[in-house]
Structure 1
Amino acid sequence: MNVFVTGGTGFVGANLVRLLLQEGYSVKALVRPHSNLGNLQGLDVEIIKGDLNDFNLWQQMQGCQYLFHVAAHYSLWQKDRDALYRNNVLGTRNVLAAAKKAGIERTVYTSSVAAIGAGKFDKVVDETYQSPVEELVGDYKKSKFLAEQEAIVAASRGQEVVIVNPSSPIGPLDIKPTPTGDIILRFLRRQMPAYLDTGLNFIDVRDVVRGHLLALQKGKSGDRYILGHQNLTLKELLDKLELITGLSAPQRTVPAWLPLSVAWVDEKILAPLGKQPSVPLDGVRMAKQRMYYNASKAVRELNLPQSSLNTALKDAVNWFVSQGYVNL
């Protein structure tokens, strides 16, 4: 079977491409003209250079039976607002229209738990929960919510589209890195003297991509499936890293007002003056919420694996070291 993948150079996409190849699929991967192709190096993949909003994208998809739309623009900087909506919302609309025109039989759309939002008072939420769009923190979350609506509309019109909502993946090939990978790197580089009192849901990235394939095989069109595993405070994650690496985890918390103040100055004063900001305001505002999720639907209906986070963390650390991100 021939599969078309967007976002194949990224963390989730590159792990997905490897899984698809292992399972005997032929893969076409859409990449931007100037993308870093390091994650696809040496793989038997047909590279298609283009953009999510290309009008002729459907022609590139012809001959493929399935589509995994993994690509998304991720940024918490307020200056990237227009790019977020152009790539995530309009790009998803165009990709789904192209899939329909090309005769794609089934699409798996990679949304995010960001589109669902966070439960109030640290409540653990599932696929039935939805924060009002105006309560979603930042334009990234809002753009992912609106992009997911594009997938839901396409499915309501008869297109086979299954939605998956990964939480925070951990593991190898985190090339950019992602926010979770950045936490690991800052820990390894001893750049985290203190931590924010927040919490997230974490999952091995290899379980995330297996969940994508299971969604293709078993998922119900129009439904969404949280691909997650374990809810942990940030301190609990850092303590796991301490056990794995032997490096000491930070013991002090940072009051939320401090990074909020730094971020406000960065984005509102320094950025307009042309200086590179260091802390995104939306990122700090998000961290004030504990983003906990229940993935039992995907476990029950898709048989989503729930692999050890310790293994995922060890493999992430080893990959960052092997790739020269940090010296231990």
Structure 2
Amino acid sequence: MDAGIVLVTGVSGFVGSAVARRLAASGATVRGLVRASSARTNLDGFPGELVEGDARDPAAMARALKGVRYLYHVAADYRIWAPDPEDIVRNNRLSTQTVMEAALAARVERIVYTSSVATLRPGDSASGGRPADETRPATPEQAVGAYKRSKVVAERLVEEMVLQRGLPAVIVNPSTPIGPRDARPTPTGRIIVEAASGRMPAFVESGLNLVHVDDVADGHLAAMARGQTGERYILGGQDVSLREMLTVVAELVGRKAPTIRIPTAPLFPLAWVNEQIARVTGKEPFLTLDSLRMAAHDMYYSSARAEAELGYRARPYREALGDAIAWFRQAGMIA
């Protein structure tokens, strides 16, 4: 990448902080956008300039983009549940539109937009059971839950701006990142913490694609360097059943692996109760109705296109789990 300021939104977050660190290690001049209310755990020793602002605020974005040549828009409202689910959709659509409008006004040369595999339809019988790829975009109506719907809406907005207004953006679709600096933690990170702490004696039949967060960050840099404008690239790792994932977590911490498989149907009333409690406490529930609906699908994805066109590579998921557990222990989340 040529010399120039690189702006990363969402630098206090899990993926955003990884992208910023990888950029700094590559020699880039990094500027990070962070909200005043954001936790600062991942900003210790931040390798660049920090600017406070909200991605939904046009004036803040204009200030943050001053003199910027390249942009990574990583920030998102990453909640699986909210008292008003449509708030997630509004936030992610508005922030994406505001950032992209500001980038056009600032004449940013190139953009990597962080979407999600949530914008793709999982593999099914019609696809022969193969992992999903970039050719299976979902409509908002096909997305399960407000978060996934919000990412579909935002991704389609970016695609429209590329086609109609020449937005110089490449789209990346991370699968399920795990690893160090999952400070919040993410829903998958919470599962790892609970399992490593011996609080998950059972599992549901489901599957997901696990990838090390630092490999996702490397994929962002590869997309900036080699990605085609307007195209999307899945940044995934390995397809793993939930049972297999929990077994590996148990092995890594020296616990007994769960052996009880439970159907999802009896869990729906419990999820409903959890959500009602969350409405009172304001604390995000561990088990939600949308998470159970998602569990009905094996969320398996192929990164073949990113591998072929970007030179993308991902390490074994077991290594990613090990790094995640080590960080959670250091952070005091696992005894």
**TM-score between both structures, scaled by the size of structure 1:** 0.95
C-alpha separation in 2, matches of 1:322 and 1:272? 31
C-alpha separation in 2, matches of 1:270 and 1:204? 33
Task: Specify the code of the residue in structure 1 equivalent to 2:14.
Answer: F
Task: Specify the code of the residue in structure 2 equivalent to 1:168.
Answer: T
C-alpha separation in 2, matches of 1:80 and 1:280? 14
1:96 to 79, 96, 100: 100
Displacement, 1:182?
1.0
Counterpart position of 2:137: 130
**Residue pair 2:10, 2:75 contacting (<8 A) in 1 also:** yes
**Residue pair 1:17, 1:27 contacting (<8 A) in 2 also:** yes
Q: Write out per-residue CA displacement over residues 260-312 of structure 1, whole angstroms, 9 at most, x where no aligned residue.
A: 12112333x54566686552211111111111111100000001112122221
Pairs within 5 Å for 1:1-328: 1-56=4-59, 57-121=61-125, 123-156=130-163, 157-267=165-275, 269-270=276-277, 277-327=285-335
Q: Write out per-residue CA displacement over residues 145-176 of structure 1, whole angstroms, 9 at most, x where no aligned residue.
A: 00001111121121110000000012111111
Displacement, 1:313?
1.2
Task: Specify the code of the residue in structure 2 equivalent to 1:124.
Answer: P
SS in 2 for 1:291: coil
Report how many aligned residue pairs link the two structures: 326
SS in 1 for 2:146: helix
Q: Runs in 1 of length 4+ with deviation above 6 angstroms?
A: none
Q: Write out per-residue CA displacement over residues 231-275 of structure 1, whole angstroms, 9 at most, x where no aligned residue.
A: 1100111122233222111000121012212112333x5456668
C-alpha separation in 1, matches of 2:255 and 2:75? 34
SS in 2 for 1:290: coil
Displacement, 1:104?
0.8
C-alpha separation in 1, matches of 2:171 and 2:86? 24
Displacement, 1:45?
2.0
**TM-score between both structures, scaled by the size of structure 2:** 0.93
Q: Write out per-residue CA displacement over residues 96-127 of structure 1, whole angstroms, 9 at most, x where no aligned residue.
A: 00011111110100000011132224541100
**Residue pair 1:118, 1:131 contacting (<8 A) in 2 also:** no
C-alpha separation in 1, matches of 2:72 and 2:28? 12
**Residue pair 1:167, 1:201 contacting (<8 A) in 2 also:** yes
Among the aligned pairs, what percent are the same residue? Answer: 42
Task: Specify the code of the residue in structure 2 equivalent to 1:127.
Answer: E
C-alpha separation in 1, matches of 2:176 and 2:36? 27
C-alpha separation in 1, matches of 2:288 and 2:246? 21
C-alpha separation in 1, matches of 2:84 and 2:21? 31
Moved more, 35-44 or 7-16: 35-44
C-alpha separation in 2, matches of 1:314 and 1:273? 35
Structure 1 pair 189/147, CA: closer, same or farther in 2 (3 Å)?
A: same
Displacement, 1:131?
3.1
Task: Specify the code of the residue in structure 1 equivalent to 2:33.
Answer: L
Moved more, 94-103 or 307-316: 307-316
C-alpha separation in 1, matches of 2:138 and 2:95? 23
Q: Write out per-residue CA displacement over residues 44-97 of structure 1, whole angstroms, 9 at most, x where no aligned residue.
A: 321111111112112320111100000110122252423212221111001000
C-alpha separation in 2, matches of 1:326 and 1:67? 35
SS in 1 for 2:118: helix
C-alpha separation in 1, matches of 2:182 and 2:203? 22
Moved more, 213-222 or 127-136: 127-136
Task: Specify the code of the residue in structure 2 equivalent to 1:301.
Answer: E
